[in-house]
Amino acid sequence: TGPTCHLNRPPRASSGTPLAYRPGQRRPPCAPTRTTGKAASKSQKEARSRMAGDGEGAAAFAAAKAEWLDGSGGLPLLRWWRASGGGELLGRWDAVRAGAVAPALAAVSGACLAMSAMLLAEAVFMAAASLVRRRPERRYSAGPLGAQDGEDEERGLLGYPMVLVQIPMYNEREVYKLSIGAACGLSWPSDRVIVQVLDDSTDPTIKDLVELECKIWAKKGKNVKYEVRNNREGYKAGALKEGMLHAYVQQCDFLAVFDADFQPEPDFLMRTIPYLARNPQIALVQARWEFGNLLTGILGRFCS
């Protein structure tokens, strides 16, 4: 059979560019390419030679591998190690690995599988609970506080109960500004809330920074109290307990506690205090946690 010519495009030269011809001129025929008998026989010989070379290389590799494994070849250090009893040591290690390491790894793998199953069961349970949970606003009264339509605004401010916000701290260099700023930014009348910063820091520099931050917010009109003590008895729980002993705490009706790395939303008190103020049978309201570094922290993604 002859060569195939493409009639829908001009033939190409060896360089890959189209051959030029005038309109109406007959296209030059495609140049047939044939392989002579000498060229074909030479190609076949080269192919057989390559196959023979590959076979010899594979045989040489297998021989070298066998020589390495039986200890007669390899690096001088490896030969010395085998001659000085390294093979016996290797056999002992294989015995230890089979008797101790392998069972330990199997136990760890089983524990990981069990914890994975627990996490999966918890995720399924939480998903199901979120679908059938009872909303608290359907069961309890949680109407807005303050002045209602037609009421005096000044009198309505008295409808906001006095709230004490406690923030225990201990060497919180990275988050002290965020937590204090979030507490002072709560949507609540400034004369009806007290922000109490309980600092148990042992680093004098951090204590000065926390105290300075409290003074900054106090100059902005926020009722911020900076409290320290001369011991760390009870740690943060002890600091919270001792903070309740101050005289100004007696005028507060409710208490909100935020850890040092908490950043409450501005409407936190507006959404939680009405449940306590309008339902005497409720003593505690706990809000949901969210993680600010959920997408960047591995622990945050795990805990979510």
CATH of 159-278, one of 3.90.550.10, 3.30.2320.30, 3.40.50.720, 1.10.150.120: 3.90.550.10
d(C-alpha 304, C-alpha 300), whole Å: 6
pLDDT tens column, 68-121:
555 555 556 566 666 666 667 777 777 888 888 889 999 999 999 999 999 999
Cβ–Cβ under 8 Å, residues 175 and 216 = no
Q: Whole-number mean pLDDT of the chain?
A: 76
Averaged pLDDT for residues 18-45: 50
Is pTM beyond 0.75? Reply is no
pLDDT at 3: 44
pLDDT tens column, 116-160:
999 999 889 888 877 776 677 677 777 777 655 555 555 555 678
**Nearest by Cα to 240 from 224, 255, 223:** 255
**Nearest by Cα to 254 from 207, 202, 200, 192:** 192
pLDDT at 94: 78
pLDDT at 226: 95
Cβ–Cβ under 8 Å, residues 70 and 40 = no
For residue 34, give the amino acid letter.
R
pLDDT at 16: 43
**Nearest by Cα to 289 from 262, 256, 249, 254:** 262
Q: How many CA atoms lie within 13 A of 300 on its CB side?
A: 9
**Nearest by Cα to 274 from 289, 254, 258, 250:** 254
Q: Residues in the chain, how many? A: 304
pLDDT tens column, 206-261:
999 999 999 999 999 999 999 999 888 999 999 999 999 999 999 999 999 999 88
Averaged pLDDT for residues 22-41: 49
